[in-house]
């Protein structure tokens, strides 16, 4: 029955929405049928009134079969509470009224946003209030053949089980997302270690290259041609004008070699880096030493790439700097992984904090109260108080899990974009 209305072309969201509606309705109908059989056999003929839910459920299944999933869900959510309210009024003080609140608590499984969940819970509370007012203002004549205490305890227990099941579902979602994020973080850390090792080799190579250029300036041109095959390289005047760039550099900047030649270096620099690089150029010209570091390159298509680079001064016979040799190694992937690792760590810390401080408490309260009900340790007079405590704990849990699910989904979208 869970697969009624399923089509292979459905996307993941529609498929989960259909399965949730069908599973929710199937459980309600099975419980209703079971109660009707058991308690009618015990003499509670009013239990047969619950069978009115069967044609209601048939309509929902039929709409799902036609592919009208949203309409079926809306009719289920809006129509179920009035039907239960009518049944509670018709067969009063049998515990049917408690299922109204339980169904309201289950709205978090059926709805996606906070506002509809809140409105639906208010709707369920209003239906319960209608029953309460009616029960308070109309005389009640108990049926001597109806085991009210047994029915009330059974429905109270199932209401508690419904809330606990909802809590377990959300705990499973949280654990799943936490494990996924931990797996991603482990992969990022492993990749980062590889990049750190590679970067160390590149730094050592860059340092050795600097010494080699200082010792053998006459071989600079030949070495530059060889490096053109594997790294970004360019010749830049002391005024910051490109006189020569290689193909790797042009590809990383998103320009052609012809577009970059005779252009100012500021064409590939972010706005905040232009003045700083000018100052570095002036210092290099004054002291005649090389400079190394990471450089962010602004691409022509408004994207960015990163290089671990070195600017090496080229001097004339008089020892004056006339040009710079730029050599850069691509580290764009490394920078992205560093950002992803930092973002992952922050996300894990946030999830751990929210789970520890906002979810554990309500879950413990719900489990404890449910255990008291299960062990029949709650008196009839204490049921309203216990229900209130369950509702309060569920509200806290619902708010915390909704916020956490929203937080994780938003960050999961960011991870997919990354």
Residue where one domain finishes, among candidates 300, 334, 368 = 334
Please indicate, yes or no, whether residues 303 and 203 belong to a single structural domain of this protein.
Answer: yes
Classify residue 183: in a domain, yes or no: no
Q: In angstroms, rounded to a whole number, what is the distance separating the alpha carbons of residues 268 and 290? A: 20
Please indicate, yes or no, whether residues 8 and 101 belong to a single structural domain of this protein.
Answer: yes
Residues 6+ apart with CB under 8 A from 150: 39, 42
What pLDDT does residue 160 have?
A: 61
Q: In angstroms, rounded to a whole number, what is the distance separating the alpha carbons of residues 77 and 63? A: 14
Q: In angstroms, rounded to a whole number, what is the distance separating the alpha carbons of residues 80 and 99? A: 11
Q: For the range 199-207, what are the long-range contacts, defined as Cβ-Cβ under 8 Å and sequence gap of 24 or more?
A: 199/308, 199/331, 199/334, 202/308, 202/329, 202/331, 203/308, 206/292, 206/308, 206/310, 206/327, 206/329, 207/292
Please indicate, yes or no, whether residues 128 and 204 belong to a single structural domain of this protein.
Answer: no
Residue where one domain finishes, among candidates 290, 315, 334 = 334
What pLDDT does residue 173 have?
A: 47
Q: Whole domain around residue 111: which residue ranges? A: 1-143
Q: In angstroms, rounded to a whole number, what is the distance separating the alpha carbons of residues 209 and 151? A: 86
**Which among 246, 296, 307, 288 has a CA at the least distance from the CA of 266?**
296
Classify residue 176: in a domain, yes or no: no
The SS3 call for residue 180 is helix
Classify residue 378: in a domain, yes or no: no
Q: In angstroms, rounded to a whole number, what is the distance separating the alpha carbons of residues 110 and 115? A: 13
Classify residue 389: in a domain, yes or no: no
Q: In angstroms, rounded to a whole number, what is the distance separating the alpha carbons of residues 327 and 300? A: 20
- Tens-digit pLDDT profile for residues 272-315: 666 777 676 666 666 677 888 888 888 887 788 888 888 888 88
Please indicate, yes or no, whether residues 6 and 139 belong to a single structural domain of this protein.
Answer: yes
Please indicate, yes or no, whether residues 128 and 230 belong to a single structural domain of this protein.
Answer: no
CATH code, domain with 268: 3.30.450.20
What pLDDT does residue 415 have?
A: 55
Classify residue 26: in a domain, yes or no: yes
Classify residue 60: in a domain, yes or no: yes
Token readout for 364 is 């413990």
Please indicate, yes or no, whether residues 24 and 88 belong to a single structural domain of this protein.
Answer: yes
Residue ranges for the chain with pLDDT beneath 50: 169-170, 173
What pLDDT does residue 411 have?
A: 66
Please indicate, yes or no, whether residues 234 and 314 belong to a single structural domain of this protein.
Answer: yes
Please indicate, yes or no, whether residues 131 and 14 belong to a single structural domain of this protein.
Answer: yes
**Which among 297, 284, 280 has a CA at the least distance from the CA of 232?**
297
Classify residue 294: in a domain, yes or no: yes
Residues 6+ apart with CB under 8 A from 241: 262, 263, 264, 265
Task: Return the sign of the alpha-carbon dihedral for residues 146, 147, 149, 155.
Answer: negative
Please indicate, yes or no, whether residues 138 and 204 belong to a single structural domain of this protein.
Answer: no
For residue 245, give the H/E element and its range: strand 242-245
Residue where one domain finishes, among candidates 334, 367, 393 = 334
Exposure string over 327-337, b if 16+ CB within 10 A, otherwise e:
bbbbbeebbeb
> Which residues on neighbouring strands pair with residue 307, listed in sequence order?
295, 330
Token readout for 266 is 């500021």
CA 185, distance to chain mean position in Å, is: 15
Domain count, the chain: 2
Classify residue 218: in a domain, yes or no: yes
319: how many CB neighbours lie within 10 A of its CB? 7
Q: In angstroms, rounded to a whole number, what is the distance separating the alpha carbons of residues 397 and 382? A: 22
CA 44, distance to chain mean position in Å, is: 48
CB distance 98 to 157 below 8 Å: no
Residue 303 has phi, psi (to 5 degrees) of -100, 180
Task: Return the sign of the alpha-carbon dihedral for residues 195, 201, 204, 206.
Answer: negative
Please indicate, yes or no, whether residues 135 and 26 belong to a single structural domain of this protein.
Answer: yes
Please indicate, yes or no, whether residues 215 and 312 belong to a single structural domain of this protein.
Answer: yes
Quick one: angle between helices 69-90 and 114-137, nearest 10? Answer: 20
End-to-end CA distance of the chain: 39
Please indicate, yes or no, whether residues 204 and 330 belong to a single structural domain of this protein.
Answer: yes
């Amino acid at each position: 029955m869970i697969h009624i209305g399923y089509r292979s072309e459905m996307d993941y969201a529609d498929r989960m929405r259909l399965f949730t509606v069908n599973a929710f309705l199937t459980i309600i109908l099975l419980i209703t049928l079971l109660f009707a059989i058991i308690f009618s056999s015990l003499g509670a003929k009013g239990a047969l009134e619950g069978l009115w839910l069967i044609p209601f459920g048939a309509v929902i299944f039929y709409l799902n079969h036609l592919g009208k999933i949203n309409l079926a869900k809306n009719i289920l959510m809006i129509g179920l509470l009035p039907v239960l309210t009518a049944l509670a009024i018709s067969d009063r003080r049998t515990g049917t009224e408690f299922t109204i609140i339980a169904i309201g608590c289950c709205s978090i499984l059926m709805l996606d946003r906070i506002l509809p969940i809140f409105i639906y819970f208010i709707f369920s509370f209003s239906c319960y209030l209608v029953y309460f007012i009616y029960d308070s203002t109309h005389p009640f004549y108990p049926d001597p053949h109806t085991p009210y205490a047994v029915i009330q305890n059974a429905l109270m227990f199932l209401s508690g089980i419904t809330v606990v099941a909802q809590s377990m579902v959300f705990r499973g979602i949280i654990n799943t997302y936490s494990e996924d994020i931990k797996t991603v973080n482990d992969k990022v850390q492993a990749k980062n270690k590889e990049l750190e090792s590679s970067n160390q080799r590149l730094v050592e190579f860059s340092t050795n290259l600097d010494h080699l250029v200082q010792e053998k300036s006459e071989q600079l041109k030949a070495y530059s041609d060889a490096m053109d095959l594997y790294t970004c390289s360019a010749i830049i005047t002391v005024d910051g004008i490109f006189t020569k760039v290689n193909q790797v550099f042009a590809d990383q900047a998103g320009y052609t070699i012809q577009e970059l030649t005779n252009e100012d270096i500021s064409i590939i620099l972010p706005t905040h880096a232009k003045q700083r690089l000018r100052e570095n150029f002036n210092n290099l010209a004054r002291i005649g030493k090389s400079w190394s570091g990471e450089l962010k390159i602004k691409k022509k298509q408004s994207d960015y790439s990163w290089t671990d680079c070195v600017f090496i001064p080229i001097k004339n016979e008089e020892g004056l700097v006339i040009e710079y040799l730029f050599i850069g190694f691509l580290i764009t992937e490394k920078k992205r992984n560093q950002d992803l690792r930092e973002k992952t760590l922050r996300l894990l810390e946030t999830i751990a904090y929210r789970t520890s401080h906002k979810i554990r408490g309500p879950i413990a309260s719900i489990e404890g109260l449910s255990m008291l009900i299960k062990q029949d340790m709650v008196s009839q007079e204490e049921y309203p108080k216990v229900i209130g405590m369950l509702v309060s704990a569920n509200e806290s849990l619902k708010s915390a899990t909704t916020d956490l699910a929203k937080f994780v989904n938003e960050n999961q979208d960011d991870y997919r974009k990354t």
